[in-house]
Amino acid sequence: MRTFFYSGSRDEIAVITRCTSSFFDRAGGGRRGVRWPARLSDRTKERCGIALAASWFTMLTVQSECDEVDFDLLVKNKLLNPDEEQTGWDRLAAMYTLDEMGGLTPELELVTNIATAGLLIGGSLGAMLNGRLAIIKFVERNQATPFESQIVAKRALQDRLTLGMARGFFIFGWRTALFTSAFTLVSTTLMVYTNQISALHYCCGGVVAGALYKASMGLRGMTAGAVAGGILGLIGGGVFSLTCYLTGTTLPKLRYQQYLWKHQQELVVSRAMVTGRLVLAALVMVMVLSAPAAACPKDCECSASVVDCSHRGLTRVPFNIPRNTHKV
């Protein structure tokens, strides 16, 4: 996706400003009741002209090439039909390299999304369980504790419940995030390196994730966690590998779908940004056009800083002359 912006010279901006100022002048003179706000000075009109012109040209010159075939040429051919044979290290280097916009590759985005989901789900479950445990412990420890009032007792219970839920969210959340992210990162790395889907990759990911999850319990705990994680990873990976085999899905096709999904998300964001800028420019135009006009004397015509009351048969200076008037 490429975005192009207008870059005009000073002379072009000056022409745009003069055209906008002349538009303001034409809108403000000629007929009564169709007056541009007299309080707008020439400098203000020039600034409005530059702002509106810049917004207008920005909207007109934003171009997206997301719908063109260069996406298939750059991504699909490299994943499905590479021109030259790639090694496992080449694929890993491409996986762990940021794109041209400084963003993560779809594989690493998958890892971060799964880690975030694990953090929220594990943290929520941990908060619920630890909060319930905090209530039970509070009731058991304070059965014979005299409180000054019922409000004080409820406040103490609420404090214990809040601390317990926060502690449960932190403990269970980061451990679940570590387990899910380690499992996904290891299995994805092995699959990208070998360029194929295998249950052994998920088994290795489960071994590493299980050992890290039980790292606080020592060597025995890590061994038990690695064995349990390896078994679960082997079962899950076997089911997934069998499903891919029956449906004819290969790893290059799966990676292509990930890149395509990311590409579609970027397209949606790009269009939303363009639409938002157009709406913003329209709102600015409406606000400027709907600005209340300054008072103008009766039987006179006001244009910018000039009030024309000539040939009207007036015998005295009229009232309600705008403050920014330079010539009457």
Q: Is residue 228 part of a domain?
A: yes
Query: Cβ distance 18 to 79 under 8 Å?
Result: no
pLDDT value for 145: 79
Q: Is residue 161 part of a domain?
A: yes
Flag residues of the chain having pLDDT under 70.
Answer: 1-84, 100-101, 285-286, 288-295, 304
Q: Is residue 307 part of a domain?
A: no
pLDDT value for 35: 43
In sequence order, the 6+-apart residues with CB closer than 8 A to the CB of 311 are none
Q: Is residue 14 part of a domain?
A: no
SS3 299: coil
Q: Is residue 12 part of a domain?
A: no
Amino acid code (one letter) for 129:
L
Q: Is residue 279 part of a domain?
A: no
Q: How many domains does the structure of the chain reveal?
A: 1
Q: Is residue 63 part of a domain?
A: no
Nearest CA-CA partner of 232 in 194, 198, 205 = 205
pLDDT value for 13: 47
pLDDT value for 144: 77
In sequence order, the 6+-apart residues with CB closer than 8 A to the CB of 146 are none
pLDDT value for 187: 92
pLDDT value for 4: 36
Domain that includes residue 152, residue range: 87-263
Q: Is residue 145 part of a domain?
A: yes
CA dist 7 and 9 (Å) reads 7
Q: At 308, give phi and psi (nearest 5°).
A: -100, 110
pLDDT value for 174: 92
pLDDT value for 228: 92
Q: Is 189 exposed, middle or buried (0-12, 13-18, 19+ CB in 10 A)?
A: buried
Integer CA distances (angstroms), 234 to 111, 207, 231, in order:
19, 10, 5
Residue entry with tokens 């103008």 = 296
Query: Cβ distance 230 to 200 under 8 Å?
Result: no
**b/e map 196-226, b = 16+ CB within 10 Å:** ebbbbbbbbbbbbbbbbbbeeeeeeebeebb
pLDDT value for 307: 83
Integer CA distances (angstroms), 261 to 13, 81, 116, 254, 288, in order:
40, 19, 19, 11, 41
Q: The tokens of 86 are what? A: 């790639």
CA dist 82 and 315 (Å) reads 90
